[in-house]
Structure 1
Amino acid sequence: MSRPSFSPVFVLFRASLCALSALPVASSAADASPATIDWVADATFLRERLPGLHPNLYHTLGAEAFARKLDAFIADRRSSEAERVLQLAQIVAAIGEGHTRLTLPLAPQARLFPTHAPTEPANVTQFTQFPLRLESTSDGYVVAAATDQMKVALGSVLVAIDARPVDDVVKRLGSLVHHDNAAQRRYLMASFLVVPEILHARGITGAVDRATWTFRDRRGKRLSLPIQALPSSQELNWNNLPNSSNALRNRNTDRDIWFENFPAADAIYVRLRQIADDRSSGERFSDFSNRLLTAINHGPQQRLIIDLRGNSGGNSSLVWPLVTGLVRSEKLTRPGALYVIVDGGTFSAAVDLVADLEKATPAIIVGERTGGSPNSYGDSRRLQLPSSGLTVRVSTRYTQGSHGEDRRNTVKPQIDAPLTQTDFLDGSDSALAAIVQRSSMIALPNGRWRGTVAFRYLDAQVDARIQDGGSGLAGWITMPEVGVAETQLDGLHFADTWLHAELKLERSTSRIELLQAREHLTGWIEYQGRPYPMVLYRVNADASD
């Protein structure tokens, strides 16, 4: 999950140290049984080594607060081994960013917290797993996969665990989850919820090896199931919802990077699960980028959709040929031609790509808030604790993916379209549906419009009025956050689904290009030679309000 530092002037030519960041920091971990683990030695090791590795360890949690947490950990002689592991995870999570984290002792077969570099086995008892997998949606945590015994719960929303409401469960687990922001914490919580040791240590379940889970189906009917914990090393036979498996975002699960035609939006749909060479085919990311750019520039499709949902990163130095190619594509500078789909799993190098596209193209961001920050700490190194053998991943640099003054801890989509329970059950996709809505069905632009323009890293509110004045269209626009009081638009005309206008400012004239589709206007406003994406929604069809 590499995040290289760079000067913002050279947006398109950043380099990554991802390969170097995969190298472990040696600690000579000793062979130890659970009964002989020296937790004091591990805590002391963290106290001594973390400040020298992390560029700003106390950016969120002050030095004194960090020291107090380690002191309390050392003083605790009564907690179980699992509780000690989770206490360390909580201390590391309190540092306050997504790259710095303790890797829980789960077998790789569980695939709960995938990493770009392997983790050495720890000297503690391996955590177990409950035989189901959850995904965060706008309706709650949906059962996305389950074993044969649990498949009756597929597609249902989690309501409670051992009679504790899910909101209470999430609150109790919150401090364990490493995160850049709330979106990433919510996304990762789906994995924390299915680890029995976590639930038991936090007082949610009465036993560490079993619990009663309660779900709600789409009709509102509740179902309670007793679920037994299984070893995390056990290979499980997973069942998925057939419709969900056929959804475009879930196809080609053996491929990390792929694209295909998406006729519903007259687009090419690109799925990037990692910023990396494809592991199954061996195709290099640079070759993939060239193949994609050739397809969009010479093919009949009018739009490009890049899906980065669940993309935890990779090597951000690989993306600059793709970004430069997208910037140079005349087809993709048209209003509503380039869309990027993101969610709480979009992190690290994937957010770097989003930040590049924000700065250099009029891309429309769709979906949910990203799990990563455009400016954040990254390039994590592995630090193995000397006695327990647990691995802590530690950020080693601050990376600036956006403008230096950008204080956002997430990238907010202009078009909010989170996945829903219905998406899993029916195989639909709210984000793609939102894009399709903006790609068809012409409607006259007369009326009142509201929305946003993504001006650098600021979502500025837009209010516009358009009316037919008899001799042609007339329109006015207001953007208070960027200092534009209500101003009449010049040269406003509507032709072949496109709305064209000019906005005269004090020192310059900005061009506005918007695509009309149904009750939406999607496009950009040009300022100082750079197009900034604009998304507007019709308030009502009568301009007289």
Structure 2
Amino acid sequence: MWIDKWNEDIEFLKETLINKHKNLFFNITRESFENNIKELKGRIENLDYNDMKVEISRVIASIGDAHTAVKLPMNYLLPLEFYWFKDGIYVIKTLGEYKELKYSKVIEINNVPINEVLEELTEIISHENKSYLKANIVKYLQAVEILYGLMIVDDIGNFSMKFEGLNGEIKTRNINSVDINKYNELLLLDSENKEQSNLNKNDKEVFNKIPLYRKNNHKNYWFEYLEEKQILYFKYNSCRDVLEESIEDFTKNIIKFMEENNVNKLVVDLRNNTGGDSRLLEPFIKYVQENDKINKFGKLFIVIGRDTFSSALLNAFSFKNNTNATLIGEPTGGKPNCYGEIEKFNLPNSKFLITYSTEYYNLIEDDNSDSLLPDINVEVGIYDFINGKDPVLEYLK
């Protein structure tokens, strides 16, 4: 019976994407897509639940549209968080035990070299450029069931990992996965995720050493005035309204602050913004466009990066096209000319959530450009991260 249910899910996936996607075959031929579907159906009886997660992801990733993807349920995660720096994948956060692994480079997972692991993951992640892949592959590295489905690990509960410390020391540790509820509990204990009013003395010491771009990740938008340098730093984490302070009220407040204070430079940081509704920022962009004091070369800076995607990318383009802003940071995870405006559906039996594109955005003439590139390329290094430095703000000061 479960074979029939998976067949039903796969057929539903195929028909729904063909009928509802804006242009499903812009990158892959219909023949190749249908062959991928047929091949997966022929292997169902040899695949378990976690295998199916991976293989459905592989089929969808082959489409080549970062907005068309599968949102998989995850029950177990590694109590480690990773970041892809210039010279490799590093542990940037440890939850619970394993504190000695913080800032270590990942060498192997269950005796599989990390480069091979990355190659396997690349095949199942919907992406359009290297930046988006770098932003998302580290999340998949935490997903134990995905590693299991790729046959990188053979035990969801425990497996070995090899690391290289900053001093060059190689160490191997057995890592225990944690269920998602436990993971979320541990995450709430982390200083970076707490409200400032809830910080104890130790938390405050940690929080004060964190650079601005890593603070207040739970807030969709906020700003801070760096009085010494007369820099107004506006962090825009999500293009979504919140009840506590609407984006309309926030825009009024930040404009009022700019009118009443000596702001020499405005920095709008979109580097961690994966999207939402691009229209929310338009009134502020229009204000900046008409502000003769700030709308000048060397006064207005927009920070972009690997997580700048979808509506946040549209906002970055709006600044680029309508103001004298300088873009600084890394190439965006979003592709300038891309499919988007997602809709969703669930597969009937597994209930896997699928997103798909309903519109096409043609922002630039050069369709070969797979990222919006910064005018000034600045990348965070592992020692910047350890020392609480933001090379972007350091450059602007």
TM-score relative to the length of structure 1 = 0.66
User: What do residues 253-305 of structure 1 show as CA deviations (whole Å, max 9, x unaligned)?
Assistant: 342100011246431011111012236xx211122122222323442121001
Tell me, in whole angstroms, the C-alpha distance in 2 between the residues paired with 1:319 and 1:240: 29
1:179 counterpart (122, 127, 146): 127
Tell me if 1:260 matches 2:224: yes
Shift of 1:404: 4.8
1:89 counterpart (17, 42, 57): 57
Which residue matches 1:420?
381
Shift of 1:82: 0.8
Tell me if 1:236 matches 2:200: no
Which residue matches 2:336?
374
Shift of 1:153: 1.5
Which residue matches 1:50?
17
Which residue matches 1:68?
35
Query: Are the equivalent residues in 1 in contact too, given 2:217–2:237 (CA < 8 A)?
Result: no
Which residue matches 1:102?
70
Tell me, in whole angstroms, the C-alpha distance in 2 between the residues paired with 1:48 and 1:360: 41
Query: Are the equivalent residues in 1 in contact too, given 2:9–2:349 (CA < 8 A)?
Result: yes
Shift of 1:240: 6.3
What RMSD, in angstroms, separates the aligned Cα atoms of the two structures?
2.0
* Greater percentage in strand: 1
Tell me, in whole angstroms, the C-alpha distance in 1 between the residues paired with 2:186 and 2:93: 10
Which residue matches 2:8?
41
Query: Are the equivalent residues in 2 in contact too, given 1:102–1:393 (CA < 8 A)?
Result: yes
Which residue matches 1:480?
none
Shift of 1:383: 1.0
SS in 1 for 2:181: coil
Query: Are the equivalent residues in 2 in contact too, given 1:154–1:240 (CA < 8 A)?
Result: no
SS in 2 for 1:149: coil
Percent of paired sites with the same residue? 24
Tell me, in whole angstroms, the C-alpha distance in 2 between the residues paired with 1:417 and 1:244: 23
User: What do residues 190-241 of structure 1 show as CA deviations (whole Å, max 9, x unaligned)?
Assistant: 1001111221222322323222122223322233221112222333324569
Q: Which runs of 5+ in 2 are unaligned?
A: 193-205
Shift of 1:407: 4.0
Which residue matches 1:529?
none
Shift of 1:37: 6.4
Which residue matches 1:431?
392
Tell me, in whole angstroms, the C-alpha distance in 2 between the residues paired with 1:211 and 1:285: 45
* Greater percentage in helix: 2
Report 1:141-540 matches (<5 A): 141-234=89-182, 235-238=184-187, 239=190, 242=206, 246-263=210-227, 265-278=229-242, 282-400=244-362, 402-436=363-397
2:48 counterpart (53, 74, 80): 80
SS in 1 for 2:339: strand
Residue identity opposite 1:382 in structure 2: K
Query: Are the equivalent residues in 2 in contact too, given 1:128–1:232 (CA < 8 A)?
Result: yes
SS in 2 for 1:50: helix
Shift of 1:51: 1.6
Residue identity opposite 1:380 in structure 2: I
Number of aligned residue pairs: give it.
380
Shift of 1:136: 2.4
Shift of 1:405: 4.9
Query: Are the equivalent residues in 1 in contact too, given 2:80–2:93 (CA < 8 A)?
Result: yes
Q: Which has the larger radius of gyration?
A: 1
Shift of 1:389: 1.2
Tell me, in whole angstroms, the C-alpha distance in 2 between the residues paired with 1:137 and 1:48: 40
SS in 2 for 1:142: strand
TM-score relative to the length of structure 2 = 0.90
Shift of 1:423: 2.1
Closer/same/farther in 2, CA of residues 266 and 373 from structure 1, 3 Å limit: same
SS in 1 for 2:152: coil
Query: Are the equivalent residues in 2 in contact too, given 1:244–1:428 (CA < 8 A)?
Result: no
User: What do residues 42-73 of structure 1 show as CA deviations (whole Å, max 9, x unaligned)?
Assistant: 11112211122111101111111000000001
Shift of 1:156: 2.2
Query: Are the equivalent residues in 1 in contact too, given 2:297–2:326 (CA < 8 A)?
Result: no
SS in 1 for 2:313: helix
Tell me, in whole angstroms, the C-alpha distance in 2 between the residues paired with 1:62 and 1:429: 44
Q: Which runs of 5+ in 1 are unaligned?
A: 1-31, 107-126, 437-545
Which residue matches 2:201?
none
Query: Are the equivalent residues in 2 in contact too, given 1:293–1:326 (CA < 8 A)?
Result: no
Which residue matches 2:197?
none
